[in-house]
């Protein structure tokens, strides 16, 4: 049985809503020194012409397939569900197709991403910005490279998380010396440190993921940035 990564599932049990929301916030803009302890990036490779051609082919296919989803109702009709609909003012809204999330462990179809990504406009409406592909956390660099070249995109996964124990959700907001104790912006990044604060340690809570912001322009670095 293949386990779909938490970030791909965007499931609703336990503290997954809090975890994915915290992960998304931690990846916005320049990461702090503490946040860098909790992110593993795919290795960089020397760019080749073939890599650029391959990446642009993915962009082209994805843009064409996403065009009909500028209205979120079309995405919902095709099986994409808004993650954490009760959470307001999300930095990026993920509409996830759980079947696609599961199938990404076995195949890569640029036209069937795990999630479609939207950003809120000043008037409250949602603007289509791109999509997210995922892979299981044990996927090799070679497997990631086969999908979106590592010389073009930095796939990332979240690592070394200390989280509150079940039924202690209020502890998500605890701080020490001005830093969050739990989650992806905590200075705690080892099991021993996590044990000291009574938390649960997850070495790799989520799988690999990469955002493809295909409506951000034509420059490859802007499309495949991991900090959006």
Q: What is the pLDDT of residues 71-126, one digit of tens each?
A: 999 999 999 999 877 777 788 899 999 999 999 999 999 999 999 999 999 999 99
The two beta strands, 115-120 and 93-96, are antiparallel
Cβ burial 159-176 (10 Å sphere, 16+ → b, else e) = bbbbbbeeeeeebbeeee
Instruction: Tell me what pLDDT residue 169 has.
Output: 85
Give the pLDDT mean for 158-179: 90
- pLDDT exceeds 80 at position 9: no
- With beta carbons less than 8 A apart as the criterion, state whether 5 and 114 touch: no
Nearby residues of 30 by Cβ (< 8 Å), 6 or more positions away? 227
Give the pLDDT mean for 53-61: 97
Q: How far apart are the first and last CA of the chain?
A: 32
The DSSP call for residue 35 is H
pLDDT digits over 169-216, tens only? 889 889 988 889 998 889 999 999 999 999 999 998 889 999 999 998
Instruction: Tell me what pLDDT residue 99 has.
Output: 94
Read off the pTM.
0.82
Residue 44 burial by Cβ neighbours in a 10 Å radius (0-12, 13-18, 19+): exposed
- pLDDT exceeds 70 at position 31: no
Of 57-71, 163-177, 211-225, give the range with the top mean pLDDT. 57-71
- pLDDT exceeds 70 at position 52: yes
Residue 183 has a CB neighbour count (10 Å cut-off) of: 26
| Max CA separation in the chain (angstroms) | 52
Distance of CA 36 to the CA centre of its chain: 15
Give the pLDDT mean for 153-179: 91
Instruction: Tell me what pLDDT residue 66 has.
Output: 98
- pLDDT exceeds 50 at position 11: no
CA distances, 119 to each of 29, 42, 102, 116, 189 (Å): 15, 25, 24, 10, 30
Band the pLDDT of 27: cuts 50, 70, 90: low
Instruction: Tell me what pLDDT residue 135 has.
Output: 94
Nearby residues of 80 by Cβ (< 8 Å), 6 or more positions away? 69, 95, 96, 97, 115, 116
Element (H, E) at 52: helix 49-66
Helix and strand numbers, DSSP H then E, in the chain: 9, 11
Instruction: Tell me what pLDDT residue 20 has.
Output: 56
Residue 202 has a CB neighbour count (10 Å cut-off) of: 17
Please give the Cα distance from 174 to 164 (Å, whole number).
Answer: 10
pLDDT digits over 127-144, tens only? 999 999 999 999 999 999
Instruction: Tell me what pLDDT residue 226 has.
Output: 64
């Amino acid at each position: 049985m293949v386990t779909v990564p938490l970030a791909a599932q965007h499931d609703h049990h336990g503290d997954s809503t809090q975890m994915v929301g915290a992960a998304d916030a931690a990846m916005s803009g320049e990461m702090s020194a503490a946040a860098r302890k909790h992110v593993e990036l795919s290795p960089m490779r020397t760019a080749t012409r073939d890599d650029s051609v391959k990446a642009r082919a993915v962009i082209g296919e994805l843009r064409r397939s996403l065009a009909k989803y500028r209205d979120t109702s079309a995405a919902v009709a095709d099986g994409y569900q808004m993650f954490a609909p009760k959470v307001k003012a999300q930095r990026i809204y993920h509409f996830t197709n759980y079947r696609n999330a599961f199938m990404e462990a076995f195949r890569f179809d640029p036209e069937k991403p795990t999630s479609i990504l939207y950003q809120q406009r000043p008037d409250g409406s949602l603007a289509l910005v791109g999509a997210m592909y995922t892979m299981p956390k044990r996927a090799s660099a070679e497997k990631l490279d086969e999908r979106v070249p590592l010389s073009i995109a930095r796939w990332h996964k979240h690592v070394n998380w200390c989280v509150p124990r079940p039924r202690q959700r209020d502890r998500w907001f605890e701080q020490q010396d001005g830093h969050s104790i739990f989650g992806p912006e905590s200075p705690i990044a080892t099991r021993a440190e996590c044990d000291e604060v009574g938390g649960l340690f997850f070495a790799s809570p989520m799988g690999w993921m990469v955002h493809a912001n295909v409506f951000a322009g034509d420059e490859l670095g802007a499309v495949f940035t991991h900090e959006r």
